[in-house]
Amino acid sequence: MLEPQAAHQSMPRALRGLLLRIISADNHCVSNPEISSILIGWHRSYSASRFNILEGRHPMQVFVSGATGRVGGTLARALLERGWRVRTLALPQDRNLAATQGAGIDCVVGDLAELSAVRQAMEGADAVFHMAAAISFQPQARDLIWSANVVGTYNVLRAAAQQSAKQPVRLVFASSDQVYPTRFARYRPTDELHPREPYTFYGLSKLLGEDMAAFYARSEPNLKISTAVFSHIEAAHELLDPNGEYSSAAFYVNGRVRNLKASSTHHAGATSQAELRSILDVLEPLVAPDEPLLLARDADGKPHTQELVDVRDIVQGLLLIHDKPEAIGETFNLAPATPVSLAEFIPYLAEATGRRYVEARIPVELGRTHGSAAKARALLGYAPKYSLFDMVDEAAGRSAR
C-alpha cells in the first residue's frame, strides 16, 4: 500500500487536479478504502500546504521538544495540519516513539541532555516549541529533573541561539504555575507579576528555565522568545481514569493518598511532615478497591476548588503566542477563566461514570489555586473552549449538560 504522501507525489498533474475536485465535493465518493485513504490523505496534505506554495515560501520547519507527550503531541499534530514540517527529539525507549513517527513527525532519537542531539534535531528550524519536561514531585527524582529540565532547556536555548545566527528563530518555552506557586500564592487570581517563589524542585527547574530564556532573549537579537506558564493540564479521557497523570490525585481517593505519600510536603499542600500526616490520617481510611472519587472540603466544610485546562486549549494558547508579534518577550499564564467547585464537579463526574464519591474534611488548605489568564485574553484573544464539565461529557460519550 502506498502512503498518502508518496501517492500524491507520484500522481500526474492532470489526475491530481481531477481527483482534488472529486474529493473536494465528497470525501466519501471513493468506495475502495485503500484508494480513499490515499486520496483523502493527499487532499489534506495539499490543502494544508497550498498557501505556502502560493505565497512562494517553503513550509515552516518546527522543532517541538516533547512531541511524544500530551501537550507536545497535540501541538505537533496541530502544526502538521498547518502544513508545517515538525521534528522532535525522542529517547530510544520512549513508548510513544512509533506512534509519533506514524503521525508524520520526524523523530530524531536522542536525549535533550546531549547538545549534539539537540542541534541535529533543530537544524533548519524556523520555530521552536520547548515543551519537554520531567514532571515529578518526589525528592528522589531531582537528578532527573535537573538533567531534563535545566540541562535540557539550556541545550535547547544554545541550539536555538546557534540556529538564529543563520535565520530568525521564534521560540516558545513551556513553564509551569509551580514557579509562583499558585497553591501557596500571595494573592489570587495569580498573574504574571506574582513573585516567583517555588516550593518544589520541579518549580525551581522551571524558574531557572524562565531565567535562561530571558537571558537568551536579551543576548541573541535573532532569537524571539516567549514563555507560556501552564496550569494543570489533562486530556478529556484522562478525567475518567483513576490512574490518570493529574486526575488521579485531584479527584480520586486512592490516587490522592498515593500522591501524598510520594510527594514532597509542599506539593502535597502541607508545610511539615506533621501536617502531611494529618491529611493522610483523614484520607487513608477512605481508600477502597472500587477507587471512589473524593469531594474534599476544608476544616470549615467549604469545598475545595480545582482549575484544570484541556490540552486543546493549551495548544490554542501556544499557537496564539507563536503567531502574535506582540507576544515576543512576554510571559503568559494559560489558565481557565475560573476554578470549579468540587461540590459541583465531583457529583457530576460520579453521575457520568457511575462511580461513588466520598467526602472528607482536610485540616490543611489544599485547593485554592486560581491562576489569571487575563493578560493572554487581552493581548492574544485567548479563549479556552472546554470546561471540566465539557471534558467529562466528551469522555463519557454523552450530550453536554
Kindly give, in sequence order, each residue whose CB lies less than 8 Å from that of residue 181, ignoring residues fewer than 6 positions away. 197, 198, 199, 200, 203
On the 0-12 / 13-18 / 19+ scale of CB atoms within 10 A, 270 is buried
In the CATH scheme, what architecture does the domain 61-230 have? 3-Layer(aba) Sandwich (3.40)
A 10 A CB-CB count for 296 gives 26
For residues 89 and 136, the answer to whether their CB atoms sit within 8 Å is: no
Q: What is the pLDDT of residue 275?
A: 86
Q: What is the pLDDT of residue 396?
A: 96
d(CA 69, CA 71): 6
Tell me the average pLDDT across 157-180.
98
Q: What is the pLDDT of residue 63?
A: 99
Q: What is the pLDDT of residue 183?
A: 83
User: What's the mean per-residue pLDDT of the chain?
Assistant: 88
H/E run at residue 91:
none
Q: What is the pLDDT of residue 335?
A: 98
Q: What is the pLDDT of residue 398?
A: 75
Q: What is the pLDDT of residue 266?
A: 64
For residues 118 and 112, the answer to whether their CB atoms sit within 8 Å is: yes
d(CA 327, CA 336): 19
Picking from 61, 288, 321, the residue whose alpha carbon sits closest to that of residue 168 is 61
Task: Give SS3 for 288.
Answer: coil
Tell me the average pLDDT across 296-301.
93
**Residue showing cell 513551556:** 174
Q: What is the pLDDT of residue 184?
A: 87
- Answer yes or no: is pLDDT of 374 > 70: yes
Q: What is the pLDDT of residue 364?
A: 79
- Answer yes or no: is pLDDT of 164 > 80: yes
Q: What is the CA radius of gyration of the chain?
A: 23
Tell me the average pLDDT across 19-38.
41
- Answer yes or no: is pLDDT of 43 > 50: no
For residues 309 and 376, the answer to whether their CB atoms sit within 8 Å is: no
Q: What is the DSSP letter of 54?
A: H
A 10 A CB-CB count for 300 gives 6
**Residue showing cell 484522562:** 238
Q: Global pTM?
A: 0.85
Q: What is the pLDDT of residue 368?
A: 76
- Answer yes or no: is pLDDT of 149 > 60: yes
Tell me the average pLDDT across 25-29.
41
What dihedral angle (degrees, nearest 10) is formed by the CA atoms of 249, 236, 201, 254? 10
Tell me the average pLDDT across 359-378.
89
Q: What is the pLDDT of residue 57?
A: 59
Domain 237-305+340-361 sits in CATH 3.90.25.60: yes
Distance from the Cα of residue 45 to its chain's centroid: 25
Distance from the Cα of residue 368 to its chain's centroid: 22
Tell me the average pLDDT across 164-187.
96
Domain boundaries, given as residue ranges, for the chain:
4-54, 61-230, 237-305+340-361
Higher per-residue pLDDT: 343 or 401? 343
Q: What is the pLDDT of residue 267?
A: 64
Matching CATH topology for 61-230 and 237-305+340-361?
no
Tell me the average pLDDT across 136-164.
97
Q: What is the pLDDT of residue 274?
A: 87
Assigned C-alpha cell, 9:
507525489
- Answer yes or no: is pLDDT of 399 > 70: no
- What pLDDT digit, counting tens, does each position of 212-268 carry? 999 999 999 999 999 999 999 999 999 999 998 889 999 999 999 999 888 777 666
Tell me the average pLDDT across 358-371.
85
- What pLDDT digit, counting tens, does each position of 53-111 carry? 334 457 999 999 999 999 999 999 999 999 999 999 999 999 999 999 999 999 999 99
Assigned C-alpha cell, 221:
537579537
- Answer yes or no: is pLDDT of 354 > 70: yes
d(CA 382, CA 139): 35
- What pLDDT digit, counting tens, does each position of 307-325 carry? 999 999 999 999 999 999 9
- Answer yes or no: is pLDDT of 279 > 80: yes
Q: What is the pLDDT of residue 68?
A: 98
On the 0-12 / 13-18 / 19+ scale of CB atoms within 10 A, 180 is buried
**Residue showing cell 535547547:** 156
Burial 34-67 (b: 16+ CB within 10 A, else e): eeebbbebbbbbbebbeeeeeeeeebbbbbbbbb
